[in-house]
């Protein structure tokens, strides 16, 4: 052992073996300490460099406006396809015909359905006009009845006045005949007395008897005439009272006919409105046989193929993707990160298929990212337990690629407050969320600094 140690420590022996110069660096000055100090200094500098806090979330390309999103083109009526005017992938303009349908319901198979419905409308209109004419005629008849009643009442009133005068005349005549009767009777009695006394002849008695009988007859005739006149007066009063009842019945009957005609008109107008509505529905339905493009777009996802396939009401036929779209990005953030976002906040994006170099804490040093601003924050949680955020394109930044398509994946980086790197490391180690702040306050703080 002593010999071996002596060989190792002997300088001459070291020089004779190259392994000693390769393995042992006893004669060289070490710089490890300087490297360690330099690394520590650099690490301390890096720890105090600014770091932009951010929230990362995954999303996809969509649009802010509902009418610009992919939409189903559904059939309004049931039918069968008789002709396709486009195929999948075709670009269509608003109003272009997508497909043509034909009827399958027996209620609409009549080729002259509209004409026949119009005939029914015309017939019902003619019926209503006839009832209106009937009402006009009946109302004219009612006027005539009313005039006739007034004339009849006037006639009877005049007759009553005449009968009253005649009664007065007949009563006077009766009184006169009664006086004549009394005189004739007294003369006949005296003549008989004189005959019995021999002072008058039988001829004279017979003459007085005849005068007396004539007076009786005139008195009876006057009484009969007087009573007849009184009967006529009573009958005329009764007839006058019956005039209102008789003509009222006629008027009521005419009014009933008018009411019945009005009822028929109301029913006819209801039927006419129903037929008019039916005609309009048939006319509109005839326009639904052609399925038209609601806007400019591309045809995709046709659910039916071939000819004579049946479709139901509201069934999807194709899907149309609009051409002119104001793109936006929908991202989903955790509830714990929601208070950190506000409308108008800056967001950076990486789109799938577009190369990018990203330093999430140093957005200025990143390459291939695109800018956006928060446009809407939904207040209700989505089915995935996160909140949906819509981000629109930032017009002051680099424009988004024209090659973007609906549904393209995107990774969003919502930029928050600038903090030192050591603070960000400490926050992540402790599991703390990013600092809560408002954009306007943050901007004011930077301006003061």
- Of 67-71, 99-103, 260-264, the range with the lowest mean pLDDT is 67-71
β partners of residue 223 = none
Cβ contact 225:170 at 8 Å: yes
The pLDDT-based confidence of 304 (bands split at 50, 70, 90) is: confident
Confidence check: pLDDT of 52 > 60? yes
Question: Please, what CATH class does the domain formed by 52-64+326-448 belong to?
Answer: mainly beta
Strands (E), 323-369: 327-333, 346-351
**Where does 198-293 have alpha helices with state H?**
202-287
72 has a pLDDT exceeding 80: yes
To the question of pTM greater than 0.75 for the whole model, the response is no
pLDDT confidence of residue 92: 92
Q: What is the pLDDT of residue 448?
A: 36
Which one is predicted more confidently, 62 or 449? 62
∠ CA 41-47-50, rounded to 5°: 130
Structure tokens at 23: 């393995």
- One fold for both 71-102+289-322 and 113-284? no
The string over 218-242, giving b where at least 16 C-beta atoms fall within 10 Å of a residue's C-beta and e elsewhere, is: bbeebeebbeebeebbeebeebbee
What integer pLDDT is reported at residue 442 of this predicted model?
A: 43
Q: List the domain boundaries for the chain.
A: 52-64+326-448, 71-102+289-322, 113-284
DSSP 3-state of 416: strand
Which token pair is 419? 């903090």
Whether residue 90 has pLDDT greater than 50? yes
Q: If pLDDT is split at 50, 70 and 90, which confidence band does 15 have?
A: low
Token pair belonging to 54:
């951010």
- How far apart, in whole angstroms, are the C-alpha atoms of residue 364 and residue 418? 12
**d(C-alpha 199, C-alpha 442), whole Å:** 165
- pLDDT in the model for residue 93: 92
State the average pLDDT over residues 187-206: 72
In eight-state DSSP terms, residue 434 is P
Give residue 22's pLDDT band: very low, low, confident or very high (50, 70, 90): low
- State the pLDDT at residue 441: 43
> 12, exposed or middle or buried, with CB in 10 Å at 0-12, 13-18, 19+?
exposed
CATH for the stretch 113-284: 1.10.287
Q: Is the pLDDT of residue 253 over 70?
A: yes
How many CB atoms neighbour CB 63 within 10 A? Answer: 19
Place of tokens 């008019």: 276
3-state DSSP assignment of residue 82: strand
Average pLDDT (233-242) is 83
What is the Cα Rg of the chain in Å? 61
* Residue 21 predicted with pLDDT over 70: no
The reported pLDDT for the residue numbered 110 is 81
pLDDT > 60? residue 4: no
| Residues 118 and 201 sit within 8 Å (Cβ to Cβ) | no
The 10s digit of each residue's pLDDT in 396-442 is: 888 888 888 888 888 888 777 667 778 777 777 877 667 655 555 44
Structure letter (DSSP) for residue 55: E
For the chain, give the percent of residues with pLDDT over 70. 84
71-102+289-322 fold = OB fold (Dihydrolipoamide Acetyltransferase, E2P) (2.40.50)
Residue 296: phi, psi to the nearest 5?
-65, 135
pLDDT at site 24: 52
What is the pLDDT averaged over residues 17-28?
56
Nearest to 223 by CA among 279, 292, 291, 170: 170
pLDDT of residue 445: 39
Binning pLDDT at 50, 70 and 90, where does residue 17 land?
low
Give the residue carrying structure tokens 């005189």: 183
Closest alpha carbon to 134 in 305, 258, 13, 219 = 258
pLDDT at 200: 65
**Quick count: other Cβ atoms within 10 Å of Cβ 57?**
23
Tell me the mean pLDDT in the region 156-166.
Answer: 82
pLDDT of residue 232: 83
Please tell me which residue, 148 or 51, carries the higher pLDDT value: 148
At residue 447, the pLDDT reads 34
Q: Which positions ≥6 away from 134 have C-beta within 8 Å?
A: 257, 261
DSSP tag of 397: S
Taking 80 as the threshold, does the pLDDT of residue 55 lie above it? no
Least confident span in 8-22, 128-142, 233-247, 393-407: 8-22
């Amino acid at each position: 052992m002593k010999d071996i140690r002596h060989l190792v420590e002997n300088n001459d022996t070291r020089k004779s073996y190259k392994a000693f110069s390769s393995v042992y660096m006893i004669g060289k000055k070490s710089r490890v300490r300087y490297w360690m100090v330099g690394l520590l200094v650099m690490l301390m500098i890096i720890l105090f460099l600014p770091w932009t806090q951010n929230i990362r979330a995954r999303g996809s390309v969509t649009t802010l406006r509902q009418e610009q999103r992919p939409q189903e083109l559904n059939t309004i009526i049931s039918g069968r396809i008789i002709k396709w005017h486009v195929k999948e992938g075709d670009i269509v303009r608003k109003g272009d015909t997508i497909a043509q349908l034909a009827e399958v319901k027996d209620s609409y198979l009549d080729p002259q359905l509209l004409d026949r419905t119009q005939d029914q409308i015309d017939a019902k209109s003619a019926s209503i006009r006839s009832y209106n004419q009937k009402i006009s005629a009946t109302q004219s008849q009612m006027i005539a009845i009313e005039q006739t009643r007034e004339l009849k009442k006037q006639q009877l009133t005049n007759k009553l006045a005449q009968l009253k005068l005649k009664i007065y005349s007949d009563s006077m005549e009766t009184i006169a005949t009664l006086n004549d009767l009394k005189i004739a009777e007294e003369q006949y009695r005296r003549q008989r007395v004189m005959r019995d006394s021999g002072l008058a002849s039988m001829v004279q008695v017979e003459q007085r008897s005849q005068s007396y009988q004539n007076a009786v007859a005139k008195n009876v005739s006057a009484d009969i005439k007087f009573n007849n006149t009184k009967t006529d007066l009573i009958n005329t009063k009764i007839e006058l009272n019956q005039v209102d009842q008789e003509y009222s019945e006629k008027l009521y009957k005419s009014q009933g006919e008018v009411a019945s005609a009005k009822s028929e008109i109301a029913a006819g107008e209801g039927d006419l409105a129903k037929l008019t509505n039916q005609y309009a529905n048939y006319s509109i339905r005839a326009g639904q046989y052609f399925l038209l493009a609601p806007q400019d777009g591309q045809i995709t996802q046709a659910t039916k193929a071939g000819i004579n396939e049946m479709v139901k009401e509201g069934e999807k036929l194709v899907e149309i993707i609009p051409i002119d779209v104001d793109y936006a990005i929908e991202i989903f953030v955790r509830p714990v990160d929601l208070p950190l976002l506000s409308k108008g906040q800056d967001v950076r994006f990486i789109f799938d298929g577009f190369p990018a170099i990203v330093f999430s804490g140093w957005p200025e040093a990143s390459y291939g990212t695109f800018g956006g601003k928060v446009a809407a924050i939904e207040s209700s949680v989505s089915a995935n337990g996160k909140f949906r955020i819509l981000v629109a394109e930032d017009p002051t930044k680099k424009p988004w690629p024209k090659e973007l398509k609906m549904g393209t994946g995107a990774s969003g980086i919502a930029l928050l407050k600038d903090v030192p790197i050591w603070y960000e490391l400490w926050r992540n180690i402790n599991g703390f969320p990013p600092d809560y702040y408002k954009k306007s306050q943050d901007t004011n703080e930077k301006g003061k600094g």
